[in-house]
């Protein structure tokens, strides 16, 4: 796989989670139905979000918090420079323009950090193997999962997908 395809696959690759994760999120290179799972947090762990992203080089994303906040948006990724950008809008009216890039030594990931229009800090991660990426990032961690500020977040078991569009009458 060339470098551009590898970087895009990281953003769009479905991570190997157990049977409790959705079965519909699968790697499909060069396909608009390609799917990746992601995790994130607002304000260093005050609120967590998880969800899915669909597309290849350009696409959409959708996530939910345990409190019921939903966020959706669009993204595009340039594998040549290994950077991308996106626009995310949430059900509370907040929105953010986010830039993301590849990182990681052995296990690659796409990461992004931005400040929303309401002043919340948003961090997002997507990887073919999120648990391995976080283990690499936090090798001495006493907990599994990922770290937002001083708070440890467990890896979610479910990664929400955008609801199906309701057909117009």
pLDDT tens by residue, 71-89: 999 999 887 888 999 999 9
Mean pLDDT of the chain: 80
Q: Which residues contact 70 (CB under 8 A, 6 or more apart)?
A: 62, 63, 64, 90, 91
Q: Per residue in 24-74, pLDDT tens?
A: 777 677 888 888 889 999 998 789 999 988 888 899 999 999 999 999 999
Which of 68, 76, 71 minimizes the C-alpha distance to 116?
Answer: 71
Candidate from 15-19, 44-48, 94-98, 113-117 with smallest mean pLDDT: 15-19
Question: What average pLDDT does this structure show over 142-160?
Answer: 85
Identify whether 43 is part of a domain: yes
pLDDT of residue 20: 29
Question: What confidence tier does 128 reach under pLDDT thresholds 50, 70, 90?
Answer: low
Question: In the chain, how many domains are there?
Answer: 1
For residue 169, being part of any structural domain is answered with no
Task: Tell me the CATH number at 27.
Answer: 2.40.128
Please state, in angstroms and rounded to a whole number, the distance separating the CA atoms of residues 166 and 147: 37
What is the rounded distance in angstroms from the CA atom of residue 29 to the CA atom of residue 155? 25
Domain-located, residue 92: yes
Tell me if 62 is assigned to some domain.
Answer: yes
User: According to the model, what pLDDT value does residue 115 have?
Assistant: 95
Prediction pTM value? 0.78
Quick check: 90 pLDDT over 90?
A: yes
Give a yes or no: residue 116 inside a domain. Answer: yes
In a domain, 117, yes or no: yes
User: 91: domain range?
Assistant: 3-150
Report yes or no on 26 lying in a domain.
yes
């Amino acid at each position: 796989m060339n470098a551009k395809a590898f970087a895009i696959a990281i953003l769009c690759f479905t991570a190997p989670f157990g049977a409790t994760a959705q079965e519909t999120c699968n790697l499909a290179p060069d396909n608009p139905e390609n799917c990746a799972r992601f995790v994130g947090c607002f304000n260093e762990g005050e609120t967590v979000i998880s969800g899915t992203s669909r597309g290849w080089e350009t696409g959409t994303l959708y996530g939910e918090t345990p409190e019921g906040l939903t966020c959706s948006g669009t993204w595009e990724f340039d594998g040549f420079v290994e950077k991308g950008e996106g626009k995310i809008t949430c059900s509370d009216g907040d929105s953010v323009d986010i830039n993301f890039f590849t990182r990681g030594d052995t296990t690659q990931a796409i990461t992004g950090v931005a400040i929303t229009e309401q002043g919340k800090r948003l961090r997002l991660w997507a990887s073919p193997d999120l648990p391995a990426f976080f283990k690499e990032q936090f090798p001495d961690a006493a907990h599994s999962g990922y770290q937002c500020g001083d708070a440890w977040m467990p890896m979610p078991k479910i990664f929400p997908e955008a609801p199906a569009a309701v057909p117009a009458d």
